[in-house]
């Protein structure tokens, strides 16, 4: 659990075991409710099943490609040529 006073957010990061433990999740509900009453945004992050390294790598590559495409489009709008 991470409480961010400045932004009034609370983040709960659950492991695979915690995610699948219904008793554990039920036990957290009063805590979530208390923060909601204090006008905090409560976010619950659940551990996934995919390979974190591979997923992060793909996301970074995708973002890099998108940025390069935006730069090319901006250069075209400005009448510049891009050399490889």
What secondary structure does DSSP assign to 17-71, as a single string? HHHT-HHHHHHHHHHHHHHHHTTPEEEEEE--SS-HHHHHHHHHHHHHHHHHHHH
Q: pTM here?
A: 0.54
Residue 81: pLDDT above 70? no
- Rounded Cα distance between 10 and 2, Å, is 6
4 CB-near residues (< 8 Å, 6+ apart):
10, 11
pLDDT interval class at 62 (50, 70, 90): very high
Q: What is the DSSP letter of 73?
A: H
Q: Which of 19-23, 29-33, 38-42, 75-79 has the lowest mean pLDDT?
A: 75-79
pLDDT interval class at 83 (50, 70, 90): low
Which position has the higher pLDDT, 80 or 7? 7
pLDDT of residue 75: 87
Average pLDDT over residues 37-42: 94
């Amino acid at each position: 659990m991470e409480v961010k006073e400045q932004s009034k957010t609370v983040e709960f990061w659950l492991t695979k075991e915690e995610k699948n433990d219904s008793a554990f999740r039920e036990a957290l509900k009063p805590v979530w409710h208390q923060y909601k009453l204090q006008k905090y945004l409560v976010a619950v992050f659940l551990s996934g099943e995919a390979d974190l390294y591979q997923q992060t790598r793909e996301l970074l590559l995708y973002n890099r490609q998108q940025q390069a495409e935006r730069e090319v489009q901006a250069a075209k709008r400005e009448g510049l040529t891009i050399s490889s």
